[in-house]
């Protein structure tokens, strides 16, 4: 049920975890082979790895997750167009909420 309500659960997070773990293992193995010890990874390094692996998640994966959740009615749409429309809707919703908040305080 959660994956229907939260489209990110339908594959984006799984995909991101896959890329992150692969990058983490490669980093640890490379360091252990070079230094003959396991190196520690601090929070900054983990955040940088996460940032790099997020770039590996494709727009198609993200768009497919939202399609499966029922947000995209036309399956022939270009994934980047779907993402642009969703971003626009999100921004518009944020502006409406901002206006409501401003009107409440006036």
50-101 residue pLDDT tens? 999 999 988 888 888 877 777 766 556 676 776 777 777 777 776 666 555 5
23 DSSP 8-state letter: H
Contact yes or no for 64/7 (Cβ under 8 A): no
Residue 49 Cα distances to 32, 78, 91, angstroms: 17, 29, 28
| 75/64 Cα distance (integer angstroms) | 9
């Amino acid at each position: 049920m959660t994956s229907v309500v939260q489209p990110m659960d339908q594959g984006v997070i799984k995909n991101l975890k896959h890329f992150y773990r692969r990058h983490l293992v490669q980093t640890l193995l490379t360091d252990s082979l070079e230094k003959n010890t396991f190196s520690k990874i601090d929070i900054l390094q983990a955040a940088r790895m996460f940032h790099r692996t997020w770039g590996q998640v494709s727009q198609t994966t993200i768009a497919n997750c939202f399609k499966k959740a029922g947000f995209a009615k036309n399956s022939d749409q270009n994934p980047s167009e779907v993402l642009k429309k969703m971003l626009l809707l999100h921004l518009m919703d944020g502006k409406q909420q901002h206006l409501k908040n401003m009107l409440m305080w006036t």
